[in-house]
Amino acid sequence: MRKVEYENHGVPLEDYQLTHSDHRRQKQHEVSSQSIARQVEEDLAKCRADPERAERRRVCFENAWKLMQSFKKPDHEIMRWRVRLYCGHIAETRRHREVTTLTGHSPTSMTCPECGKDPSKIVAFEPIGLAGEPPPPPEPVAAPVPPPKKPTRAQLERRVAALEKENQRLRALGHAEL
C-alpha cells in the first residue's frame, strides 16, 4: 500500500470558529438541496400518476444499488475522518483511503447524526485512521520444482539393458520353480 499524506483543517475541531465562507457555503448548499428536493418531489408525483414509470424507476434504482454494492471496498481501504459540521456537532464519516482531503472531490456535507440538520457542511476535519487492518502480506511462494531433465540416449540405453537383465533373471527364477 502506498504512503498517503492526509490533510486536516480546523484542528482542534472543538475550538473551530465558523467563518464567513462557511456561512456562505452552507447557505448555497441549503438552496441547492431545496432545489433538488423540489425536483425529486416532482418526479415522485409523476411516478405516483404513472405506475409504469414508477416500476421503471424502481428497477433503475435497484440496478444502481446492486452496482454500487459490487464496488464496496474492504475496511482496510476506507479512511475514517472526524469532522465538525456547520451545526457545531462533531461526527465521523468515511471515504476511500486515497481521498486525502474532505474539501476535494468527496461529498462536503452530511446529515448530522445528533441534531438531524440536513445538509450540514463539513467545516473542519481530521483523519482518524483506517477502518480496518490491512491483510497480512501473502506468504512467499516457494519456487516450483523444475521438471527433471530428459535422460540422454545413452542413459536410456543403460536403463533398458538393466531392465532386460532383471527381466531375464526373473524369468530364470520363474522357470526354476516349475
Q: Which helix (H) or strand (E) holds 120?
A: strand 120-130
Report if pTM > 0.75. Answer: no
Answer yes or no: is 71 within a domain. yes
Answer yes or no: is 99 within a domain. yes
Answer yes or no: is 54 within a domain. yes
Rg of the chain over Cα atoms, rounded to whole angstroms, equals 35
* pLDDT band, very low/low/confident/very high, at 17 (cuts 50, 70, 90): very high
pLDDT tens-digit map of 130-168:
999 888 888 888 888 888 888 899 999 999 999 999 999
Answer yes or no: is 141 within a domain. no
Taking CA atoms, 176 is separated from 23, 160, 166, 173, in Å, by 111, 24, 15, 5
Answer yes or no: is 96 within a domain. yes
State how far the Cα of 77 lies from the Cα of 140, in Å rounded to an integer.
Answer: 23
Answer yes or no: is 25 within a domain. yes
Answer yes or no: is 161 within a domain. no
The domain of 36 spans 13-130
pLDDT tens-digit map of 44-63:
899 899 999 999 999 999 99
Phi-psi domain of 176 (left: phi exceeds 0; alpha: psi -120 through 50; beta: other): alpha
State how far the Cα of 112 lies from the Cα of 138, in Å rounded to an integer.
Answer: 40
Task: Kindly give, in sequence order, each residue whose CB lies less than 8 Å from that of residue 111, ignoring residues fewer than 6 positions away.
Answer: 117, 118, 119, 120
